């Protein structure tokens, strides 16, 4: 994972102090990615981190929850340039409604046991976001009241946002890309714009 180039500057990022204070309160590590405060916590700490965020840090607004499938084999889209550890990264952003602070919490879970505790008890709004993530990534949320399908038909098999899930329309017919783009008359060609 990269850090923002502004982190490498001599002056600390203006959000660094805030990020550190959040990380200390919830027991995680702070990262700043291009003005986004990200706090990485342990999966066992997931629910308690949000409890602290809501009760002690005034982060009462539940923005969203989702996941990233870090995968070396992709069925649709470009593969990663470097090999990564196979895992799901679960992300959730909460914010306050006064100063404009917002924190994205992150935790890694294994693909073999893709399960994490539900946040519904802390933020009731996590309900639909967790349902969506369960459907799209196949992640189980322990303690969630109803993980039934949200978008897809009930009989649908598979988790579309997993990198191993192919995009069927692309399998049937590859994206034409540059093939159907003709060069402008008397202009530089598409293949070699500098000519």
Partner 1 sequence: MDQDFAHHLSEVAVSVELETPDMTLNIGPQHPSTHGVLRLIAKIAGERAFDVKPVIGYMHRGYEKLSEVRTYPQITALINRIDWVSGYANEIPFIVAAEKLMEIEVPERAQYIRLILTEMARISSHLIFMASYPLELGAATPLFFALRERERVLDLLESVTGGRFHPNFNRIGGVKPAVGSGSTTRKQIQDLPAGFFTQTKDAMGKVLDVCEELETLVAGNEIFLARTKGIGLLPPEVAAAYGVSGPNIRASGVKFDIRKVESYLPYDQFDWEVPVGENGDCWDRWWVRLTEIRQSASIIQQAVDGIPSGPLQAKVPKVIKVPEGQTYVRAENPKGEMGYYLVSDGGSGPYRLKIRTASFSNISILPWILEGILIPDIIAVMGSLDFVLGDVDR
Question: Where along the sequence are the contacts to partner 1 (CB under 8 A)?
Answer: 1-2, 4-5, 33-36, 38, 60-64, 66, 68-69, 76-78, 80-81, 91, 93, 97-100, 102, 104, 123-125, 127-128, 136, 149-152, 160-161, 165, 167, 170, 175, 184, 186-188, 193
The residue among 18 and 61 lying less far from partner 1, judged by its C-beta, is 61
Q: Report the nearest approach of partner 1 to the CB of residue 54 (Å).
A: 8
Conformation bin of residue 123: beta by default, left when phi > 0, alpha when psi is -120 to 50: beta
If we measure between CA atoms, which residue out of 106, 109, 107, 105 comes closest to residue 86? 109
Q: Report the nearest approach of partner 1 to the CB of residue 167 (Å).
A: 6
What is the sign, positive or negative, of the torsion defined by CA atoms of 109, 63, 157, 80?
A: negative
Q: Report the nearest approach of partner 1 to the CB of residue 74 (Å).
A: 8
Query: What are the backbone dihedrals phi and psi of residue 144, each rounded to the nearest 5 degrees, phi first?
Result: -80, 135
Q: Are 138 and 161 in contact (CB under 8 A)?
A: no
The residue among 44 and 79 lying less far from partner 1, judged by its C-beta, is 79
The residue among 18 and 64 lying less far from partner 1, judged by its C-beta, is 64
The residue among 42 and 128 lying less far from partner 1, judged by its C-beta, is 128
Q: Which of helix, strand or coil describes residue 97?
A: coil
Q: Report the nearest approach of partner 1 to the CB of residue 35 (Å).
A: 7
């Amino acid at each position: 994972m990269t850090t923002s180039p502004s982190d490498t500057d001599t002056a600390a990022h203006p959000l660094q102090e805030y990020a550190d204070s959040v990380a200390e309160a919830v027991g995680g590590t702070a990262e700043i990615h291009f003005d986004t405060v990200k706090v990485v916590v342990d999966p066992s700490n997931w629910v308690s981190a949000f409890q602290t965020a809501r009760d002690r840090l005034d982060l009462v607004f539940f923005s969203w929850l989702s996941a990233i499938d870090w995968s070396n084999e992709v069925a649709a889209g470009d593969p990663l340039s470097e090999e990564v550890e196979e895992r799901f990264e679960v992300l959730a952003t909460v914010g306050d409604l006064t100063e404009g602070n917002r924190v994205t919490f992150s935790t890694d879970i294994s693909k073999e046991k893709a399960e994490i505790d539900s946040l519904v008890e802390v933020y009731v709004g996590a309900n639909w976001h967790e349902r969506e993530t369960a459907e799209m990534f196949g992640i189980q949320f322990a303690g969630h009241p109803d993980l039934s399908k949200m978008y897809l038909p009930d009989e649908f098999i598979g988790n579309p946002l997993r990198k191993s899930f192919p995009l069927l329309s692309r399998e049937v017919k590859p994206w034409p890309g540059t093939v159907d783009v003709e060069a402008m008359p008397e202009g530089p060609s598409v293949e070699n714009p500098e000519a």
